[in-house]
Amino acid sequence: MQTVILCGGMGTRLKEETEFRPKPMVNVGQYPILWHIMKIYAYYGLNDFVLALGYKGDMIKEFFFNYEFINNDFTIELGAAHRTRIHPKHHEDWRVTLVNTGEKTLKGGRLKRIQKYISGNDFCLTYGDGLTDVNIKEVVAFHKKHGKTVTLTGVNIASRFGELKIDGDKVTQFAEKPEDAHGFVNGGFMVLNTKIFDLITEAEDCDLEYGPFEHLAKKGELMVYKHKGNWACMDTLRDSEYLNNLWNKDQAFWKVWE
């Protein structure tokens, strides 16, 4: 199963960092938050990634293109032979497809523009700024069991994000960024059936939560896996400082790979 990560937003609430780099490339410790997200998925055996790029996407391309050289020692023979040999210390068994999806494209449009790289009936989807200790294998199993179009991971915090009205495990209403959110909210770490592509277009103004998710909720096709553990996102400078503080104190709840 593949994992799509939405990496295209401008991150205006974190302008202290995103003036210079895309939000997924803002560091938590030594590595960008995007790397941490991918390490979570890879821990559960999901190491085939499709990154939907937008704002300053070239920086993400350069990071992965040079990943082996940056993170390992290597020997280079100059001259006619021009051979390079890497001495691996850090190796990720990842397949990463990087796709330009437009600088200002909304999430639905970004997702539609990567459709041609998706194989199989289901895929994972998340945002490029959230971290969790959710068991992704359990989320996938839950999705396959109920057979609906979309599974969200609901996290139980007051938030700026899309609030979920829930009946059992079914989402009956998706409210995009309500003023007074309470109960479960959409924490990303989703699983989608490819039927979602019938509800979105490549148009720059095609959203995902506003419109498609609301429609699916009304049709009974939007389900929620209720995660009662930890979740956090990097939305502001304060969030960045909080995540870095956890990492530096070896208290990173999302570090499931160790």
pLDDT digits (tens, 9 = 90+) for 43-64: 999 999 999 999 999 999 999 9
CB 175 within 8 A of CB 162: yes
247: part of which helix (H) or strand (E)?
helix 237-248
Give the span between the Cα atoms of 204 and 222, in whole angstroms. Answer: 24
List residues bridging with 124 in a β-sheet.
3, 191
Average pLDDT of the chain? 89
42: part of which helix (H) or strand (E)?
helix 33-43
Return the pLDDT at 64: 94
Question: DSSP readout, 63-83?
Answer: HHHTHHHHHSEEEEE-SSS-E
pTM for this entry? 0.88
Higher pLDDT, 159 or 94: 94
List residues bridging with 154 in a β-sheet.
186, 226
Question: What is the 8-class DSSP label of residue 203?
Answer: -
Task: Please name the residue that has the structure tokens 């895309």.
Answer: 22
Q: Is the pLDDT of residue 206 over 60?
A: yes
Q: Where are the domains of the chain?
A: 2-248
Q: Is the pLDDT of residue 175 over 80?
A: no
Q: What is the pLDDT of residues 72-89, one digit of tens each?
A: 888 888 887 778 888 877
| From the candidate CATH numbers 3.50.50.60, 3.20.20.70, 3.90.550.10, 3.40.228.10, the one assigned to the domain spanning 2-248 | 3.90.550.10
